[in-house]
Amino acid sequence: MRLSPAELAALVEGTETCPHRFLGAHPLADGGQVIRALFPGATSCRVLKDKAGRGEEMAKLADLGVFELVYPKSAAFRYRLQVTYADGTTDGTTQVHEDPYRFLPTISEPDLFLIGKGDDHKVFHKLGSHVRTLDGVTGVSFAVWAPSARRVSVVGDHNLWNGRAHPMRALGASGIWELFLPGLGVGARYKYEIVGAHDQTPFIKTDPCALHFEPSPNHAAIVCDVSGFVWNDQAWLEQRRQADSRARPMSVYEVHPASWRRVPEEGNRVLNYRELGTQLAEYCTRLGFTHVELMPPSEHPFDGSWGYQVTGFYAPTHRFGTPLDFMAMVDTLHRANIGVIADWVPAHFPRDFFALARFDGTHLYEHADPRLGEHQDWGTLIFNYGRHEVRGFLVGSALSWLERFHIDGLRVDAVASMLYLDYSRKAGEWVPNRHGGRENLEAVEFLRQVNALVHLYHPGVVTIAEESTSYPGVTKPVAEGGLGFDYKWNMGWMHDSLDYFKQDPLFRKFHHDKLTFGMLYQWSEAFVQSFSHDEVVHGKGSLIGKMSGGDDATKAANLRCLLAMQWAWPGKKTLFMGCEFGQFAEWKFDASLDWHLLRYPLHEGLQRLVTDLNHLYRQDGSVAAKDLDSRAFAWINANDGDQSVLTFERHGDDCAWVVVGNFTPVERTYRLGVPFAGKWEEAVNTDSLHYAGKGLGNLGGVQAEAKPTHGRSHSIEVRLPGLSVVIFRQKR
């Protein structure tokens, strides 16, 4: 195969889409073979045929550094290339390389077919960078999707960021570009230099599928190999696989890793992943939480986005260590029997040009029409869920977190913005779907697909929707026409509860329906009752700061009531860090929580209450098992708004709770019906001295009497402290 002037020009000018056609070793029609090499800046190149270093000089075809050597009568043989550069002696500037253009593609035709259909569910094993051994040679394979590009090159420290040195080959019509670079390994920094379909000037992009990135402002991807990590969480994974999460207690502690706890003695530095694993495991075990939820752990460029504007959908952020360190954190938490849920953000991505935006010079990942492709609230771009490869990229991201990093759940952010084409848009600013409706049909199908695949490949993993509308069937199985989430955040209950506890107790009787309205829709979905970071930012103040009261003690009493109602209400639980001890300051992403507050009884008491609520919830696991069963809940009296008292029952197979809330500062003697005779233990009393309350209560419990009340044959007369919730329990 001789090189024509046009073919040589294509190599020199960087317009050849498959440099492997001409570079490397190729047979000649009349026998023998030709070897060509590309080394920009080289003055000479030799073909080395054996380990002794004997070789022959190649002819230089172009000043760029294209070399050729013809072997008229020669079978194929293994070879290396000895390259000498212009600026020095042989010892200083001569290097020996394996030829990257002699290797076969690392992605097969069947793989390309599945990727193009969006049906390669683990595309992350093909795209991105991977340490491999091919034909006995260790190196790194690179693959990236850029269908409209005219040239894509791997650039990095290895080639002085020269885009002419290592052009990739386009694999047919797939839009995927691929190259294997021998000799590279873990730690190599790289990006892709791309010439777009309508561009003359190359631009640089980082790898969408990379596992590790360097900090701003460079954002280079870093070759990473996590295959050698030794996990010690097999017991955890097995019990997770066999368990039904809905039938188990689930109490989630939401954490922003950069601001949970810092090290003031070392310049207020953030904890690294391994420190976070150790300290969160101890803290959550002590307080009784079953899971940690990490605000988006994915790579992101701007601290102030809290991780919700993602540029590395497969990579744990570099801020706290390497992917191996992240794995160690998860492993530590699992060995402490703490699950790990990650916030996952497939709803949008930032406009930062180094990442996904106009990736190959076109609107590749996003819609070209701004009515479909731009998120007006956040100034970000919206994924084109109708494109097979985009869906495959996002599905791969979800499954990568579960497979590679053993994550136990995905809390999917901003689901409402995905479901509706007119989300936060005025008339004329959105495009109806093919039926003329407002639902984003492609996004709906994507969510169904990702939920189905998560549950197929990883039984026991949970998915949680942050969905603030009344879209039907969010937690209904995909097979039954639902979206397939395991849980949905109960935004309505959260807003109503906060609105109620903001009210002066004098006027709460006029807002009693805020406490009861949620039960009208409680069983329509599988709910998580959540007080998240969204409630303590953007000038909203802290959770304790929202409570009614002219002094700290009254605010704390109201917060104790709110937290007890959250735990007593049917459904799983999520609480943002700092709320468990009543931090007064609004959350700041760039500072530690105010841990010093725990020196004071009021804050220590709140933390003790959350601890006792968690332990009661877990001890009475049969009640938690009925969190989503309407038959296990009953109002005792939902209508005593005049006294601002609310009473209800929770039932498990071997245990029952009677919950009594008194939401004015007036102490009361109160009779209420109970479902069973016998003694009712006072399991939690938020007014206990143990929680920095006033210490009023029922001496540990009360005996039921055969006095019919509230439609029950037995009742108890109890002492209700002002601003308190009391949970009575009885083992059956």
Residues annotated as catalytic (active site), given as ranges: 413, 466
Angle between helices 552-568 and 601-619 (to 10 degrees): 10
Indicate the residue type of 497: S
Q: What is the DSSP string of 184-246?
A: --TT-EEEEEEE-TT-SS-EEE--TT-S-BPPTTT--EE----TT-----HHHHHHHHH--GG
What ranges make up the beta strands (E) of 547-705?
572-576, 633-637, 645-651, 655-662, 668-674, 679-685, 701-703
Separation between Cα atoms, residue 575 and residue 589, nearest integer Å: 17
Residue 311 CB: number of other CB atoms within 10 A?
24
6: Cβ–Cβ under 8 A, 6 or more apart, which residues?
none
What is the DSSP-derived secondary structure letter of residue 162? -
Helix (H, G, I), strand (E, B) or coil at 174: coil
Separation between Cα atoms, residue 353 and residue 402, nearest integer Å: 28
615 to each of 205, 290, 337, 582, 651, how far by Cα in Å? Answer: 49, 10, 14, 19, 17
Separation between Cα atoms, residue 560 and residue 602, nearest integer Å: 10
Separation between Cα atoms, residue 118 and residue 712, nearest integer Å: 58
Separation between Cα atoms, residue 524 and residue 534, nearest integer Å: 24
Separation between Cα atoms, residue 720 and residue 732, nearest integer Å: 25
Indicate the residue type of 508: R
Please classify residue 578 by burial: count the beta carbons closer than 10 Å to its beta carbon, then call 0-12 exposed, 13-18 middle and 19+ buried. buried
Please report where in the chains the tokens 């050729």 appear, as a residue: 68
Cβ atoms of 67 and 41 within 8 Å: the answer is no
Please report where in the chains the tokens 């270093």 appear, as a residue: 53
Separation between Cα atoms, residue 462 and residue 205, nearest integer Å: 33
Separation between Cα atoms, residue 372 and residue 368, nearest integer Å: 8
Separation between Cα atoms, residue 651 and residue 638, nearest integer Å: 17
Numbers of helices and strands, H then E, in the chain: 16, 38
**Tokens representing 614?**
């968690």
Separation between Cα atoms, residue 369 and residue 349, nearest integer Å: 16
Separation between Cα atoms, residue 14 and residue 2, nearest integer Å: 19
Helix (H, G, I), strand (E, B) or coil at 714: strand
- Could you tell me the end-to-end alpha-carbon distance of the chain, in angstroms, rounded to an integer? 86
Residue 123 CB: number of other CB atoms within 10 A?
26
Please classify residue 199 by burial: count the beta carbons closer than 10 Å to its beta carbon, then call 0-12 exposed, 13-18 middle and 19+ buried. middle
**Which is nearest to 203 in space by CA: 12, 18, 360?**
360
478: Cβ–Cβ under 8 A, 6 or more apart, which residues?
448, 451, 452, 484
Residue 267 CB: number of other CB atoms within 10 A?
7
Cβ atoms of 668 and 662 within 8 Å: the answer is yes
CA angle, 657 as apex, 652 and 659 as ends, to 5°? 140
Cα Dmax for the chain: 109
